[in-house]
Amino acid sequence: MAAQTPFGATVAHGYLTLSLLPQMSYRSLPHDDPGAGMALNYGLQSRAAPGAGALGLARSRLVPSSARVDEEDWGRQVTMTATIEREDGDKPVCVAEVVYRYYRL
């Protein structure tokens, strides 16, 4: 059935693509803060899916950018713009503002 769609192949749905963000962004986030007791994937500020994701066996990559760090009395909140691109794609698969929280113990 996927071959009969306008995409011509299997496409990863938006929530599957979003579920990859925590693992794909692991190297882009700080992990060596001795004052941080617990890290939490807090959620998304916004999300868009301008292009079709994971057509066939295309490789995907995360391009992190514009991280904002807000200091709070409970710890730190990091908001990162995460763009997921696919190999040979003309548009990003997903662009999201992802929020992580680092709570002090």
Task: For residue 37, give the CATH number of its domain.
Answer: 3.10.129.10
Which residue range forms the structural domain that includes residue 13? Answer: 2-104
**25-55: per-residue pLDDT in tens?**
877 776 666 666 788 889 998 888 877 665 5
Name the pTM for this structure.
0.75
Phi and psi torsions of 18, nearest 5°: -65, -35
Does the pLDDT value for residue 61 go beyond 80? yes
How many CA atoms lie within 13 Å of 68's alpha carbon, on the beta-carbon side? 8
Count of structural domains within the chain: 1
